[in-house]
Structure 1
Amino acid sequence: MSFIFIFKGRLIFGPDAKSLIITVLLIIVPVIIFCTNVARNLINEIPGNIQGHAILLVTVVLTIYVLLLLLLTSARDPGIVPRNPNPPTEELCYDSSASIDAFGSRSQTPTPRLPTTKEVIVNGVAIRVKYCTTCMLYRPPRCSHCSVCDNCVERFDHHCPWVGQCIGMRNYRSFFMFISSASLLCIFIFAMSALNIKFLMDDYGTVWKAMKESPLSVVLMVYCFIFLWFVGGLTCFHLYLIGTNQIKPSRNNFSAYVGENERGPGNLGMNSSGGYNYAGELDGNRREKVEDDREIGGDLLKISQRPAE
């Protein structure tokens, strides 16, 4: 899969970055409808221009904030582990059983092979890691291979088609802030559209006449209600994962080696001060550090614990 690199790797878009156009339209179109119809009516209905224009200002600012978070999520390296050009020779072992060569004869020469798993010590805890035949490396803890991007990603959560990028160690925080802010935007537009219906109901007497007078308010309420089930539910789900120190694809296998309440390598849950440790807390330089990562080579512990510079 091909990636799009911009500004010397400071921005990196996934192979399906074109889906961003759909996501942006799903955000901008209802906001434009709201600002040009519902918000304008609220400015006339609410006494005092300050309150009415404040609704319009909050909508615009919140929308820009959501779009910026979308860009940060989509254009940031999710935590791609650079693949090796060759398998790690120091891990090779030999199969002593007889093998069949290309001519059909049985050969007694041991054939080299790599063990599918091995144990490493991370923060004093023994962790079993798996070998990735595509990237030719042993994946760090909480690292998985994305079948869409065809890369191993540290703290891989999932590949999101709506942002066109994997969600991993380096963009999880912006992803979580994006979906939570999008949920707030849905709630705000839904509430303001309902308020517009209420004002019209006071003027026309019944809710049906009010809905007939402003059908776009009803459309926006239905639209925001439907999308709130998706982004709001996703926000609650990831709040649960953050609070219980889990990452979606690894919450079953990782807890077999490190208890979820213990402070294992790369703790994701609540810290001692009551705040959350996001999976994407290692932000640092947004440029993909290709050269630095290649210097790491096959050292699994250095890859899994590399600092964000």
Structure 2
Amino acid sequence: MFVSSTTMLCLYVLAFCWVNIRKIMDTYHCNMWTAFLKSPVSGILILYTFICAWFVGGLTAFHLYLIFTNQTTYENFRYRYDGKMNPYNLGCIRNEVPKRSFNIEVGKRQAVADEDFEDIQSQIDSVGGLERCGTQPRHTNWDHKANWEITPDIHVLAAEFGMESGLADRQKISRDH
């Protein structure tokens, strides 16, 4: 929409600058060059918008082609469906019909979270086990004045995920320090 509206704006300005030059020619009964001298801004805009209209017009035409063939710019340059059928092209009319949006990422993330929950839980338990068996250095450089008590909401979360024993061990360690 941005590129096509920019093309339309360029054509609009170009057309009305020509209308302005034509009115000047009719009003003063002069030729085109004299009209350009009387309104130099119109002459500059005619030149500028003529050049810009070719660039943004070409970009608009390219994007319309992408829309009609149901491709992204990346697909067009990367995969090149020349000679092959684009599997996503539904035809000029059906490519334009808005589809019901479905966020595939949300469903995908949820499915991954459900499948890998036990694996993540075992990784958390193994890290907790490493702390308890002494394979990691003791945290003796921690600030002893800090409050390391576990709040009730953390206890609720731990109970929900079945980690009460790990929290009890950590509370005991934090009280010993």
For normalisation by structure 1, the TM-score amounts to 0.30
Larger C-alpha radius of gyration, 1 or 2?
2
Task: Indicate the structure with greater helix content.
Answer: 2
Higher relative contact order structure (alpha carbons within 8 Å, sequence separation ≥ 6): 1
TM-score of the superposition, structure 2-length normalised?
0.50
Higher strand proportion:
1
